Amino acid sequence: MTEQSSHLPALIIFFVTYFIIVIQKIPRLHLSRVAGALVGAVAMGIFGVLTLPEIYAAIDLDTITFLLGMMLLIGYLETAGFFAVVERLVLSRANSGTTLLALVVASSGLLASIFMNDTICLMLTPVLLRIATRLRVSPVPYLLAMVTASNIGSVMTLVGNPQNMLIGIRSKIPFPDFLSALWPVALGGLLIDFAVIWWVYRTSLQWRASRPDRSDRPDWADPVQAAAVRTPLVLSLLVMAAFLGLLMAGYPPQAVAIALGALVILLESHRPSQLLAQVDWTLLVLFAGLFVVMHGVERAGVIDRIIHLTGGHLTGGSNMTALTVVSVLVSNLVSNVPAVLLLSPVVTAAGATPQHWLTLAMSSTLAGNLTVIGSAANLIVFEMARRSGVTIGVADYLKIGVPITLVTLAIGAWALW
């Protein structure tokens, strides 16, 4: 099929795929994001937009390999009890509403910069729900603090979120350089995050807890010291230290992640199936499908058309504002990971500099806090909370999401430009 004749099918497949991704389910069909991406990828082949070899070549194996390795490492931390220790440490020090809020913001932001924001939300949402139940307080402000802080904290490293991983692999920006440029954005953003949520929920945060009774709650207090010296936990922390050290030394992220992922499988050789069960295989399928759909759009000449229409405004000289605005808008239409997949070829073809890539990482990540669909982490928290009987209204989210996003974007723009 010629470029001209494949243009329309590629656009139709793209819009249908992203329509499914945004609304998640079509009545009577109930197609999920993963199913939508997979169907879109297959459709690119069926309608002749891409050949089978082109479909295979479209899948970015560096990114898939990196994600798989990270999931294995995070799964090892989970089975070793790392996140259980985090729960106990937070709860043992949460003697007031303000203190708990500060602990949630700080721990979520820091952990997300190392272990990826989606994973932190998956791991810490049930932890916060249990903590709120034990303290007999509303979990809503703390859940909102966790998800917004996770999004903000994840901006500072190449491993903080999937879109940063994509940008890191495609831009070749070294891990230390990425961290050096964006850690001030994350730090300033976390301070803003705490201030906004404290102000909005200051009334419900006015509580103080008495010192916890260790004999009454042995399951979360006494085992902290014992858990910290258990061999699996110590080994998991050593592995993560090696992971960060190798990244700082300049080794390729995908090679480091999969090599250490293979190492933890050996360490867990007595129960490898339990570790492999921690891998989110559907997320890998989602990424593979999106890679194919986006390559189909690019192959049909749509990306070239976008560059022609924008006239270089997205990456032209000092005009970072256009790139930021487009990134924020697209991120809140299709979520930030698909937005980066969409904008990456545009930025690449227009001859982006490292500053453009950093701006795309900053804006797409912080844009995730604007609306519920801006980030997959938001949807994770909303859904898990709903299953536990906790409802977070869209209005509840917007009243903290909008100011946090606008102010943090301003901080990010100032820091980078």
What does the alpha-carbon distance between residue 176 and residue 191 come to, in Å, rounded to a whole number? 23
- 377 vs 181 pLDDT, higher one: 181
What does the alpha-carbon distance between residue 197 and residue 105 come to, in Å, rounded to a whole number? 10
- The alpha carbon dihedral of 257, 258, 263, 269 has a sign of positive
Overall residue count recorded for the chain in this entry: 417
Find the distance separating the first CA and the last CA of the chain, reported in whole Å. 43
- Model pTM? 0.71
Q: What is the pLDDT of residue 208?
A: 73
Overall average pLDDT of the 162-188 stretch: 89
Q: Which residues pair with 208 in a beta bridge?
A: 96
Helix (H) or strand (E) holding 299: helix 281-299
Q: What is the pLDDT of residue 215?
A: 41
Confidence class of residue 258 from pLDDT cuts 50, 70 and 90? very high
- 61 contacts 258 by C-beta, under 8 angstroms: no
What is the percentage of the chain residues whose pLDDT exceeds 90? 21
What is the percentage of the chain residues whose pLDDT exceeds 70? 84
Overall average pLDDT of the 260-272 stretch: 85
Residue 208 backbone dihedrals phi, psi, to 5 degrees: -135, 145
pLDDT in tens, 277-294: 878 788 788 878 888 887
Q: What is the pLDDT of residue 27?
A: 57
| pLDDT greater than 80 at residue 63 | no
Query: If DSSP codes are grouped into helix, strand and coil, which group holds residue 239?
Result: helix
Q: What is the pLDDT of residue 407?
A: 95
Confidence class of residue 5 from pLDDT cuts 50, 70 and 90? low
The residues, any chain, with a CB within 8 Å of residue 193's CB and separated by 6 or more, are 105, 109, 145, 148, 149, 152, 404, 408
| pLDDT greater than 60 at residue 315 | no
Domain boundaries, position 95: 3-416
Q: What is the pLDDT of residue 190?
A: 96
Q: How many structural domains does the chain have?
A: 1
- Of the segments 116-130, 274-288, 360-374, which one has the largest average pLDDT value? 360-374
Overall average pLDDT of the 237-249 stretch: 84
Q: What is the pLDDT of residue 260?
A: 92
Q: Which residues pair with 96 in a beta bridge?
A: 208
Q: What is the pLDDT of residue 224?
A: 52
Confidence class of residue 394 from pLDDT cuts 50, 70 and 90? confident
| pLDDT greater than 70 at residue 150 | yes
Query: If DSSP codes are grouped into helix, strand and coil, which group holds residue 161?
Result: coil
- Tokens 């990540």 found at: 365
- 175 vs 392 pLDDT, higher one: 175
pLDDT in tens, 29-48: 666 777 888 989 999 999 88
Average pLDDT score, the chain? 81
DSSP state of 155: G
pLDDT in tens, 200-242: 998 888 877 655 444 444 444 445 555 445 677 888 889 888 9
DSSP state of 132: H
